[in-house]
Amino acid sequence: MLIGKLKQLNFAVAAALTIMCAPAYATSIKIAVAANFAATLNSMLGPFQSLYPSDSFSLVSDSTTNIKNAIISAGTATTYDLFLSADFAAPQDLYANHNSLVVGAPFHYATGSLELWSKTVNISAGLPNPLTTNIVIADPTKAPYGKAAQQVLASSPWSITTIPSGFVFTRPNITTTYQAVNSGTFAYGFVAKSAICTKPGSSEVYPAGTYHHSYLYNDPAHPYDQIKQYAIKINRSGRTTAQNTVLTNFVNFLTGVGTSAGTAKILYYCYQLP
């Protein structure tokens, strides 16, 4: 009988230790993130929880415009605590015209770049002229990367000002644009550099056997608005004091305050820091 009770006690102690040692991510926030940055943000979860073991976050990804509209529609009843946009315009619009829905001003967290990418066609020299193959870009009315691609296409020698038209098609956001090229639905298209580039050291790495051409925002021949990505805190009415602490911790992590773990992930995915 005594042996049986000791076994039960040992089991109970072991179970209690297991519970005590298990990660307890008791406090979580929700981040609405532009599609281009979703993979980078997802890769930050582990390093963030290493620094803040009781903190966590979940994410929802969509085009910048769709997220902004969802925040406006929901008001302070929104489920989002932070908005990571792919541009400055969307968070600035919230700040200037819907100020009761945000906390503080927009802040710059990363700068992205545009790439022409293909798995099958050698487009290393850039976009062909004339276009004879269907290509894909993100919807320029919703996605800043799509707007940048539209600006490139509007320049000489293509001078394409109406999209979609001819050989140019669109997808709802930059992630679905990447997927359309990756699946072979389109031979090539304009994607976010972060989707195909990593920088584990001093050199950038791209998927083997694929082709890409970098388009720089300040190229005098094919300029586009620099893709400066801004974020803003959202005024969610149900946020607790503990969640406010998590939000502060994450913004510091993202912007490199007190640690480089977050900014290291931004650089790893070939973004530039502010």
- For each of the domains in the chain, give its residue range(s) and CATH number, in order of start: 26-112+227-268 (3.40.190.10), 114-215 (3.40.190.10)
**In residues, how long is the chain?**
274
> Rounded to two decimals, what is the model's pTM?
0.89
**151: amino acid identity, one letter:** Q
Q: Is 270 left (phi over 0), alpha (psi -120 to 50) or beta?
A: left
- Residue for token pair 């919807």: 139
pLDDT tens, position by position, 20-63: 333 455 799 999 999 999 999 999 999 999 999 999 999 999 99
The residue among 225, 142, 134 whose CA lies nearest residue 180 is 134
Name the stretches of the chain with pLDDT < 70: 1-25
Residues 6+ apart with CB under 8 A from 4: none
Range list of H helices, the chain? 2-21, 38-51, 64-74, 89-97, 144-154, 174-182, 193-196, 241-255, 261-268
Query: Is 171 in contact with 190 (CB distance < 8 Å)?
Result: no
